[in-house]
Structure 1
Amino acid sequence: MKSYMARPQSVERNWHLVDAEGKTLGRLASEIARVLRGKNKPQYTPHVDTGDFVVVVNAERVVVTGRKAEQKVYWRHSGRPGGLKETSYEVMMERKPTEILRKAVWGMMPKTRLGRAQFKKLKIYAGSEHPHQAQNPQPYEVR
């Protein structure tokens, strides 16, 4: 019996539409990362991009549990001495609500060339409108 290995030419890519309204940030991010990597398909192959495209709407309505809304902090560094910058969850939600979900999903993806290619299939929008109607994304229910 031979093992099945998916080939990049034979992968069928679907478009999924995820509504983030009222969903918990980490649980939503892990499910999106699973779909981007293709782990929801029976033909998943670790070294081939078998994942689907994911369109997330209502990213500004994602929720966090506990006191994370007051306590969570996002850091970034410019690479220069003294270049560490902090942004709280509340400020990030006001300025860039899509970045919160983007950073959560990025943390769950592999940090390789394949992971970066899979991550590019993620499209996040703060409101309920998106420009991907032509691709006919199918609603995807997050567990």
Structure 2
Amino acid sequence: MHVYLQQWATFARQWHIYDCTWQNPFESARLVKTHLMGLHKPIYHPMNDCGDHVVLINTKEIALPGDEWVKRVYFHHTGYPGGASWTLAWQLHDKDPTMVMKKAVYNSMTGNLQRRHTMQRLHLFADDNVPEEILANVTNQIRTPRVVPQRLDHIDKETLENFPTIMDYPKDYVLR
């Protein structure tokens, strides 16, 4: 009986959740691709559709490296004459906060003949408001490659006051 349960768990589609807060979308896309395509499973084969569902939350909080927000351009064509357009990353992110992450995951699956079908198992949310029927399915959390630093305005005042200082500035010191 135990062997059958292991086999069932291998073939079953699992649900993973990934928090995109302060994460590079291109590094994250490689991690997400592994679970979407089923590359982490021992039964993986390029023609076998054994991938899992992945829920991405907080996609509006992604962090592009360097000046990618103003230099990265996304191409779109409507299919009609004169329908080509190029959109900067920050403009695309303002229109739809999930689109940069979606395009990063889609582009990371080059060579996958089933990537349009595979992308149907990707669930994107701009914040952490995920419907209960989706959260009820989640069984695993994908670890983020980058640790999210704590913001200064979220640290309590007592911790800030007791934090060790390197230099003691005089009371009349003025910063320029």
TM category (shorter chain) comes to 0.7 to 0.9
Contact 2:17–2:138 (8 Å) recurs in 1: no
Aligned partner of 1:19 in structure 2 is 19
CA-atom RMSD in angstroms: 1.7
SS of 2:74's equivalent in the other structure is strand
Deviation at 1:98, TM superposition (A): 0.3
Q: How does 1:129-140 map to 2 (within 5 A)?
A: 129-131=129-131, 132-140=134-142
Aligned partner of 1:36 in structure 2 is 36
Amino acid at match of 1:61: E
The superposition leaves residues 18-53 of structure 1 with CA deviations (integer Å, 9 ceiling, x where unpaired) of 000011110001111111000012221221111110
The superposition leaves residues 48-95 of structure 1 with CA deviations (integer Å, 9 ceiling, x where unpaired) of 111110000000111111111111111111222222112111111111
Deviation at 1:111, TM superposition (A): 5.1
Cα distance, 1:138–1:111 mapped onto 2, change above 3 Å:
closer
Residue 142 of structure 1 pairs with residue 139 of structure 2: no
Equivalent-residue separation in structure 2 for 1:55 and 1:99 (angstroms): 14
Equivalent-residue separation in structure 2 for 1:116 and 1:94 (angstroms): 24
Q: How does 1:39-54 map to 2 (within 5 A)?
A: 39-54=39-54
Amino acid at match of 1:46: P
Residue range with higher mean Cα deviation, 76-85 or 88-97? 76-85
Mark the structure with the bigger radius of gyration. Answer: 2
Structure 1 stretches lacking a partner, 5+ long: 1-9
Aligned partner of 2:121 in structure 1 is 121
Aligned partner of 1:5 in structure 2 is none
* TM-score normalised by length of structure 2: 0.70
Amino acid at match of 2:137: Q
Equivalent-residue separation in structure 1 for 2:45 and 2:117 (angstroms): 15
Aligned partner of 1:75 in structure 2 is 75
Deviation at 1:141, TM superposition (A): 0.8
SS of 2:136's equivalent in the other structure is helix
Equivalent-residue separation in structure 1 for 2:117 and 2:11 (angstroms): 15
Equivalent-residue separation in structure 2 for 1:31 and 1:128 (angstroms): 19
Q: Would you identify which runs of 4 or more consecutive aligned residues in structure 1 move more than 4 Å? A: none
Equivalent-residue separation in structure 2 for 1:142 and 1:52 (angstroms): 18
Higher relative contact order (CA 8 A, sep 6+): 1
SS of 1:97's equivalent in the other structure is coil
Amino acid at match of 2:72: K
Number of positions where the alignment pairs a residue of Structure 1 with one of Structure 2: 134
Aligned partner of 1:57 in structure 2 is 57
